[in-house]
Amino acid sequence: MSHASARVPMPANEPVLAYAPGSPERTELKKTLARMAAERIEIPLIIGGQPLHTGKLAEVRMPHDHGQVLASFHQAEAPQLQAAIEAALAAKPAWEALDFTERAAIFLRAADLLATRYRPILNASTMLGQSKTVHQAEIDAACELIDFLRFNVAFAERLLAEQPNSAALTWNQLDYRALDGFVYAATPFNFTSIAGNLPTSPALMGNTVVFKPSPSAMFSNWYFVELLREAGLPSGVINLVQGDPAMITAQVLSHPDLGGVHFTGSTAVFKSIWRTVGENMAKYHQYPRLVGETGGKDFIFAHASAGEELEALAVAMVRGAFEYQGQKCSAPSRAFIPASLWPKLRERVVALTGTLKMGDVQDFRNFMGAVIHEAAFKKISGYLEYAKNAAGVKILTGGKADGKRGWFIEPTVIQSEDPKNRLMCEEIFGPVITVHVYPDAAYEDTLRLCDQSTPYALTGSIFARERSAIATASQLLRHAAGNFYINDKPTGAVVGQQPFGGSRASGTNDKAGSFLNLVRWTSPRVIKENFVPPTAVGYPFQGAE
């Protein structure tokens, strides 16, 4: 046992490796890609530290080559879900009682394992299973997840240090307890880092977790669970249960010991979770904490003074809208451009889009892979069909979809006369950006429209040189984005630099990658100790008149 006042290492953002030809990281990654593409693994459930095989199997396929099976995974049914919740509850007393420095050490070791031996494993599995290019995998599955693990430890240390004042003769303390019950983490397909963060941030604060990954990210998520085991995470702290999302969620949410939900995904699913929790309220032993980061209709807004910055604006639109096939929650999918800038900008955006290569992510020359699965492919194709026929709508480049070998959708730029066309308002979650061209003089009115025309409020950018135009946009769009960018694309938030999350229909805005998120996973107890308690009942004011 140690009595030192330990300090966790000061975190710094993990450097992004380049994977240039001839680099050692490229050689190692290529080897891992080839091995993983050739083998076919079987993924069990992990309950109380034990692998469990139900025999009810589903497959993981490569989105860019959907004939190729990477893995099959066992799916949970009701008895295993019950067992996973029981395992989480059984592991909780010891885990919560463990000294913070011991818990922290496990996650710091996990970060270092990921920065070294597991880096090619998490990157390759994210590339093959979620169709990310090497750069998109590196900034997600390696760097962002390493940052979450290291920075959360430092944020937690800061939080624990937050203590109340004490009056004379007393000592007040805040004890940061885990929530009552267990936490349910349900994670999206599009970021391996989010799949890693959602179960680990509550666990760091002493909670135990039932973790339900997205079936479409099962491959990389499995390797992360393996990594946690290797880092020394005790059995039962994070229990892996994959399978039918609606069935699993319904059963977990009906348990009386549900203490919290850590969710990232679509708005509709989170609303259904909120509704179910409300309906189950009478069953619970506590009020479950609900944290959900959800959909977006992120924007790039240009002012006429951005004319000098036209190339930066064009690059922001193309990188923002098309990296990872537009499947980032932060990807801009609508743009408001002043008429004076449009002819030149349009030419640049169309030309740059034309240079993007799309294909198998194992070929490092490609800028884009495929969209995640057939349902996404069909949904996005539906929007493209609509765009081909709708009045006042023109496809400027792209517009084609080809699902024969992989779920490929061309990067597509659309122009819409009507700023309230569904292409300008609905989340498409694919490589599609729609532009509305507004009269230069209607700057403020168009800002108001941008604020009001969607239910979302996740990310957005203003491009302008004139400072007063930036100030106006910042004010009028204050509630339109939880992450607001000036002269930059609205994607690429970095842990510790731009804590992430939006409000309105985009989520509870609990800012992943900051101490604000960790606050949600602790239920503080105040302890007042009186060193010299009073020994008389009466007060001085009762003395003789």
Beta bridge partners of 59: 72
Three-state DSSP class for residue 478 = coil
CA gap 65, 36 in Å, rounded? 14
Q: In angstroms, what is the minimal distance from the CB of 292 to ligand NAD?
A: 8
Is the Cα dihedral 206, 153, 157, 8 positive or negative?
positive
Residue 425: Cβ-neighbour burial (10 angstroms; 0-12, 13-18, 19+): middle
Annotated catalytic residue, options 14, 138, 144, 293: 293
**Choice between 17 and 331, CB closer to ligand NAD:** 331
CA gap 258, 290 in Å, rounded? 10
Q: In angstroms, what is the minimal distance from the CB of 463 to ligand NAD?
A: 23
Three-state DSSP class for residue 495 = coil
**Pick from 377, 367, 336: which is nearest to 463 by CA?**
336
CA gap 142, 137 in Å, rounded? 7
Q: In angstroms, what is the minimal distance from the CB of 293 to ligand NAD?
A: 3
Decide if 60 contacts 71 (C-beta within 8 A): yes
Q: In angstroms, what is the minimal distance from the CB of 39 to ligand NAD?
A: 25
**Choice between 305 and 330, CB closer to ligand NAD:** 330
**Choice between 191 and 223, CB closer to ligand NAD:** 191
**Pick from 150, 210, 221: which is nearest to 188 by CA?**
221
**Choice between 239 and 506, CB closer to ligand NAD:** 506
Decide if 463 contacts 300 (C-beta within 8 A): yes
Beta bridge partners of 291: 262
Contact residues toward ligand NAD (CB under 6 A) are 186-191, 194, 212, 214, 245-246, 249, 264-266, 269, 272, 293-296, 329, 427, 429, 458, 500-502, 506-507
Pairing of strands 182-186, 209-212: parallel
Annotated catalytic residue, options 14, 323, 329, 427: 329
Q: In angstroms, what is the minimal distance from the CB of 107 to ligand NAD?
A: 21
Residue 179 has φ and ψ, to the nearest 5°, of: -65, 160
Counting every residue, how long is the chain?
545
Q: In angstroms, what is the minimal distance from the CB of 426 to ligand NAD?
A: 11
Is the Cα dihedral 261, 266, 267, 268 positive or negative?
negative
**Choice between 19 and 456, CB closer to ligand NAD:** 456
Q: Write the secondary structure of 188-203 as one string of H (helix), E (strand) and C (coil).
A: CCCCHHHHHHHHHHHH
Residue 154 has φ and ψ, to the nearest 5°, of: -70, -40
Q: In angstroms, what is the minimal distance from the CB of 244 to ligand NAD?
A: 9
CA gap 149, 164 in Å, rounded? 27
Instruction: Say whether 329 is catalytic.
Output: yes
**Choice between 366 and 498, CB closer to ligand NAD:** 498
**Choice between 458 and 473, CB closer to ligand NAD:** 458
Q: In angstroms, what is the minimal distance from the CB of 454 to ligand NAD?
A: 12
Q: In angstroms, what is the minimal distance from the CB of 222 to ligand NAD?
A: 14
CA gap 166, 191 in Å, rounded? 44
CA gap 214, 221 in Å, rounded? 9
Instruction: Say whether 144 is catalytic.
Output: no
**Choice between 136 and 214, CB closer to ligand NAD:** 214
Residue 174 has φ and ψ, to the nearest 5°, of: -105, 125
Is the Cα dihedral 66, 70, 72, 76 positive or negative?
negative
Residue 109 has φ and ψ, to the nearest 5°, of: -65, -40
Residue 448 has φ and ψ, to the nearest 5°, of: -65, -40
Residue type, 478: R
Decide if 281 contacts 258 (C-beta within 8 A): no
- CA angle (381, 386, 389) in 5-degree steps: 130
Q: In angstroms, what is the minimal distance from the CB of 270 to ligand NAD?
A: 7
- Which residue's Cβ has the minimum distance to ligand NAD? 265
Which residues belong to the active site? 293, 329
